[in-house]
Structure 1
């Protein structure tokens, strides 16, 4: 590919139609002040996706809850699954490709030991919503579930018990901590009247247990410091996808889901004092919790909070340095990652790179900061974000590498509008990215892989 020439396959009139701004679904776009680099992993290259059907643009898809009647689908044999899925698809308008992928995924998930390489290959093409299997696949892709299905039950029980213990210890307020200390004191020494009655005498209240103590070891001082983070988390959680009843509103469902998101983020912040909570983490957590909470298996759905916590930790481990402000200017910080995106664009489309960064002086940090730190959750509607995540999580090369390719593809797909624009129009376009054919976007992103690895 020439640096100043875009390949013919991209200039096809098939992809030239764009939707108007009026067609764009409502998107909530916070302004995170986040600051991370992906851990290097063995490279896995899925095959080039089959180009999407000949249509100018695909209609915006909607997210629906998985069907409860498919609760036991993983344990059914593949033939039964294929027949049932074909019947369901014929009445719901699911595409043949979705039917095929669904059957392949169910076949892989039904094996005693899941072939992760094959699972990644299939899932990278997209996980059909209707089957309700995205929950299990994502847990496998993130390493939360082991490939050996015989270990699933014990591993899940252990992790969920661990999370329950985290909540009991980390979400306890100082009064409850003091009460536990009182009981412990009474148990150890029953000589004094105050001890036998469960009350601490004035002399027994240590400096660290006193509400007015400002000492670093004071549980009350720590509580007051944590309360600021809790308030920030609470504000952000309430702003999460305000257009979705699942996350927003006064319903019992929304309140319950908000509480779960809040508890996960608080526990994470307390377990990771070096990072704590950074605005925008709620947007990364939301897709995980949504998918797990809508698992058609009621037992799995009930444990969505614990499962989401550990998968959130796994996912964020590859991006944690982006959220550490002290590393912003380091080789693993967010600015270095944005620079990599800039260099990547220059390598694949130098004309566009020159127009953006030299002619119109659109600094990539103005738009790419949010793209990268929030994993594109704010640039597309929720259903399309889930589809993009299927590809991000499926690539053993690492979500970050795939993310940078997708971001570069986003720039290339609107290159004609960018080349015709000035600073103001280009910045507006990139900060409010237009609706796109997600299948083609991912197709272009995959085309940007190094040829030697394709």
Structure 2
């Protein structure tokens, strides 16, 4: 690890070679400590390697360390996910289309099955809207997947799928307004329909639709949290990594594997998405305070400026920390950063170091500028700063914090 740290700090774009990863991953039992060391310096991304997918599945506590158990484990988990799809999408869709409900849609009782359906539809519309705009600069999510979910695309036409549910929720509405003369007007409005997003033909699914299904099932299985905006930005890079892997098996089961890896990751960071915990010791507020405390020690002058200009971390660091920097860098750089975050033995302590490094790399510009300029700069991290430069600075911050 010290060798890797020295090379990164020296400015080298150091990455372990494919052979080092292959040697480690072919062992009967994966050396988790050494895997973390290698992944911290970056997983190989050369075409055909497919190493990042396997490493992330291990780092996110999905795949067991003993390789011999992988086939049976994956078969079991993928079958379990297929069962989730059946129980939470297909079966309810069949009942909804057949009108099989014990009560009336207008029943105001909170325990009414119709009330649950209406709430699910509201949540689904939000998920749908967020997933459609996932990584807009990348055409990947708009493309059709080669492996649509068989139980969905081959189901009876009378079954209400998620796509049909969204289309039925997109209704014409009329707003009543009264002008200054007291004349009543009816103004028609209409939300964007799926046709305006160029939905794929029946039998095909875009990658964003797969992400939508994963998030819907996750929300149904986690009723205490449900879906919170931003979860799509956490799932997107994971699904992209698996669905674009050169290994056919990895691509074919990218949906199920992404679901479980995302679930495991959310188990570690879910408190950041719970608003009532913002000011608690485990909430996002505590993380932002920790970042500011780091900065106060590492760069007192910069810390004082931000405090003087009232540039609160809520204005920019909230997004950095909650979404694991997925909105601040191009996707390839996000994947590289996540290699180190997932390999972090302190579980995302390195995220604070990276965020602190980002602030320190902007210090010269920040120190000479006013509030409006600095606000814009912090909310739009300059693409001219290379991700390796950020990571090298983060390692420096990490070492100084540990007194090395």
Fold conserved between structures, TM > 0.5: yes
TM-score (norm 1): 0.71
Task: Note the C-alpha offset of 1:248.
Answer: 3.1
Task: Note the C-alpha offset of 1:271.
Answer: 0.9
Counterpart in the other structure of 1:406: 354
Q: Deviations over 1:297-342 (max 9, x none)?
A: 1122110011001101111111111111111222222122111111
Within the alignment, does 1:213 sit opposite 2:94 as a pair?
Answer: no
Counterpart in the other structure of 1:389: 338
Partner of 2:225, secondary structure, is coil
Counterpart in the other structure of 2:323: 374
Q: 1:406 to 1:325 in 2, by over 3 A?
A: same
Within the alignment, does 1:363 sit opposite 2:363 as a pair?
Answer: no
Task: Note the C-alpha offset of 1:256.
Answer: 2.3
Counterpart in the other structure of 1:125: 41
Within the alignment, does 1:305 sit opposite 2:262 as a pair?
Answer: no
Within the alignment, does 1:323 sit opposite 2:239 as a pair?
Answer: no
| Residue ranges of structure 1 left out of the alignment (5+ in a row) | 1-43, 56-94, 183-204
Q: Deviations over 1:200-225 (max 9, x none)?
A: xxxxx734xx4333333322220111
Counterpart in the other structure of 1:272: 222
**Alignment counterpart, residue 149 of structure 1, candidates 59, 67, 75:** 67
Q: 1:101 to 1:180 in 2, by over 3 A?
A: farther
Q: 1:157 to 1:175 in 2, by over 3 A?
A: closer
**Alignment counterpart, residue 448 of structure 1, candidates 393, 397, 404:** 397
Q: Conserved in 1, the CA contact under 8 Å of 2:230 and 2:323?
A: yes
Q: 1:54 to 1:158 in 2, by over 3 A?
A: closer
Within the alignment, does 1:238 sit opposite 2:132 as a pair?
Answer: yes
Give me the whole-angstrom Cα distance separating, in 1, the residues matched to 2:283 and 2:390: 26
Higher relative contact order (CA 8 A, sep 6+): 1
Q: Conserved in 2, the CA contact under 8 Å of 1:45 and 1:453?
A: no
Give me the whole-angstrom Cα distance separating, in 2, the residues matched to 1:302 and 1:54: 38
Give me the whole-angstrom Cα distance separating, in 1, the residues matched to 2:91 and 2:116: 10
Partner of 2:378, secondary structure, is helix
Partner of 1:114, secondary structure, is coil
Q: Which stretch of structure 1 is more off in the superposition, 439-448 or 140-149? A: 439-448
Counterpart in the other structure of 1:48: 5
Counterpart in the other structure of 1:39: none
Give me the whole-angstrom Cα distance separating, in 1, the residues matched to 2:132 and 2:97: 32
**Alignment counterpart, residue 378 of structure 2, candidates 406, 430, 436:** 430
Partner of 2:212, secondary structure, is helix
Q: Conserved in 2, the CA contact under 8 Å of 1:114 and 1:148?
A: yes
Q: Deviations over 1:414-449 (max 9, x none)?
A: 111111111111111110100222112111111222
Aligned length: 344
Give me the whole-angstrom Cα distance separating, in 2, the residues matched to 1:52 and 1:270: 45
Q: 1:46 to 1:234 in 2, by over 3 A?
A: farther
Give me the whole-angstrom Cα distance separating, in 1, the residues matched to 2:38 and 2:399: 21
**Alignment counterpart, residue 207 of structure 2, candidates 235, 254, 257:** 257
Give me the whole-angstrom Cα distance separating, in 2, the residues matched to 1:218 and 1:229: 17
Counterpart in the other structure of 2:28: 112
Q: Conserved in 2, the CA contact under 8 Å of 1:269 and 1:277?
A: yes
Partner of 1:146, secondary structure, is coil
Q: 1:432 to 1:251 in 2, by over 3 A?
A: same
Partner of 1:421, secondary structure, is coil
RMSD: 2.5
| Residue ranges of structure 2 left out of the alignment (5+ in a row) | 144-197
Larger gyration radius, structure 1 or structure 2 = 1
Give me the whole-angstrom Cα distance separating, in 1, the residues matched to 2:279 and 2:75: 41
**Alignment counterpart, residue 223 of structure 1, candidates 113, 117, 121:** 117
Q: 1:237 to 1:146 in 2, by over 3 A?
A: same
Within the alignment, does 1:293 sit opposite 2:250 as a pair?
Answer: no
Q: Conserved in 2, the CA contact under 8 Å of 1:46 and 1:121?
A: no
Give me the whole-angstrom Cα distance separating, in 2, the residues matched to 1:176 and 1:218: 18
